[in-house]
Amino acid sequence: MSSSYTYDRLYIDQHDAPSEQQVDEWLALGDVGKLEQIVLDGRGHMLREKKTVNAQ
């Protein structure tokens, strides 16, 4: 993997990713579509250790 690719990936992760607060809101609201998109975007790590009582 090139250093350019690594830099580009870090930039995207830092500037295009939802905030922790947004993720927490989506969990509380049960916004499955947005939570699925996090995983599809390769950011499933943002959901680790997260829990919700929302049945959706």
Q: What is the pLDDT of residues 2-53, one digit of tens each?
A: 565 565 556 555 557 899 999 999 999 999 999 999 999 999 999 999 988 8
31-40, Cβ contacts within 8 angstroms, sequence gap of 24 or more: 32/56
Q: Are 33 and 41 spatial neighbours (Cβ–Cβ below 8 Å)? A: no
CA dist 50 to 25, 26, 30, 53, Å? 11, 11, 13, 11
Residue that wins the pLDDT comparison between 56 and 44: 44
Q: Is 30 helix (H, G, I), strand (E, B) or coil?
A: coil
13 lies in some domain? no
Containing structural domain, residue 47: 18-56
Tokens of 19: 């905030």
Domain count, the chain: 1
12 lies in some domain? no
